[in-house]
Amino acid sequence: MKLNSVSFIILSLSLIALSTTIVNAQQARESCNSTLSLNDLTFNATLLQCVEAWTLQNYILRYARTVENTWSFILSAPDSSAFIGIGFSTNGQMIRSSAIVGWIPSGGGAGTVKQYLLGGKSPGEVNPDQGDLTIVDGSLKIESVSSRIYMSFQLTAELPRQSLLYAMGPAGFFPTSPDYRLREHRFVTTTTINYITGSQSVVKGSPHSKLRKTHGLMNMFGWGIIVIIGAIVARHMKQWDPTWFYAHIALQTTGFLLGLTGVICGLVLENRLKANNVSTHKGLGITILVMGILQMVALLARPDKQSKYRKYWNWYHHNIGRIMIILAISNIFYGIHLAKAGSAWNGGYGFAVAVLALTAIGLEVRKFKNK
């Protein structure tokens, strides 16, 4: 009997705990049909349109133009002991966007809402109390109701930016004074919203990400790897004549075509992003392309081996090629820096350059010893 009583008590407690968990989970869930019960709003919440902004994380966005050129927003999300954020982007990218970020410490205390300038992907480049959103004074508010966080604010704009980014911070972390730095978020999604109809679409991958990646890879493999291999073949494989010559031509032509594709992608990308910080990168890229064209033209004007002009042609062809390779490697690393592509791109290309450099040095040593 005692055993049965203990089992009954354990089972009852388990059911109570399970019921409490289910109730809390249901309270934390919300839909556009849920009733708002918020305090201290400075606008009429009944006017707001509603969209399920981020279904996976149950982010709900309510908004409306409540006054001429004044837009009111309420972003709600489950209270997961983390900051929540909504970014307004001109091109769908995080970098150079402005965001509204808010949090309520899990240990109690007043909540905080701030505007941030998303200057880059590292925490040091995300700056508090900066950005180009015109926020109505006194409109930044945040409160917790039924296990959900409600962040409200008002913007002055004829029409807010339609590319929106939503983010959730790392669990248990809250920015603190004096710098209020954010850590890297756990989850993020990008959407495009039509404020008039209330329709939205989720952006799979950042806009132009495929074009950006194609631009980088084409230039990296074309100018930065294949052309270098072609130069190594021409310098150290001449004992296999004429195979080395045809291999050299094939490699340099392939590298040139890939590099040309990369430059074209870069010009299209610059036009679409309206980038204003790529003039040096662009200038180096065009210089490398012109050198590549000169090298291809030089092949057609190649003098015979017995010609007295052959030594001048060799000097021109070899040195233009060396300068082009140095510029290409430098510009690729500079492009990775501009794109803030991260350590994976730097490390991957750096490893490839290191392998090619060690190979070239080893072959130079062997060539010197043979002499």
pLDDT of residue 352: 95
The pLDDT value given to residue 130: 95
Of 15 and 345, more confident: 345
Lowest mean pLDDT among 79-88, 154-163, 304-313: 304-313
Q: What percent of the chain has pLDDT over 90?
A: 54
Inform me whether the pLDDT recorded for 15 exceeds 50: no
Going from the C-alpha of 154 to that of each of 27, 41, 54, 129, the distances in angstroms are 26, 11, 20, 16
Taking residues 143-159, what's their average pLDDT? Answer: 92
CB of 218 closer than 8 Å to CB of 268: no
Digit-coded pLDDT (tens) for 46-80: 889 999 988 888 899 999 998 889 999 999 999 98
Q: Say yes or no to pLDDT of 353 above 80.
A: yes
Q: Could you give the percent of the chain with pLDDT greater than 70?
A: 90
pLDDT in tens, 172-186: 899 998 899 998 777
Q: What average pLDDT score do residues 255-280 get?
A: 88
222: which DSSP letter? Answer: I
Could you tell me what percentage of the chain is helix, strand and coil, using 3-state DSSP and rounding each to the nearest 5?
45, 20, 30
The yes-or-no verdict on residue 8 having pLDDT over 70 is no
Give the model confidence (pLDDT) of 16-52 as tens digits.
Answer: 443 443 334 444 567 888 888 787 787 888 889 999 9
* Res 49: pLDDT: 92
> What local confidence, expressed as pLDDT, does residue 142 receive?
94
Look-up: residue for tokens 């489950």?
A: 78
Greatest CA separation for the chain: 112
For the record, the structure tokens of 22 come out as 């289910």
Predicted structure pTM score:
0.54
pLDDT at 40: 74
Q: What is the pLDDT of residues 327-352, one digit of tens each?
A: 999 999 999 988 877 778 889 999 99
Give the residue from 36, 37, 39 showing the smallest Cα distance to 50: 36
**What pLDDT is stored for residue 26 in this prediction?**
42
Structure tokens at 206: 């950042």
The residue-averaged pLDDT of 147-165 equals 94
Residue 13: pLDDT over 70: no
**pLDDT of amino acid 140:** 94
Average pLDDT of the residues in 80-109: 90
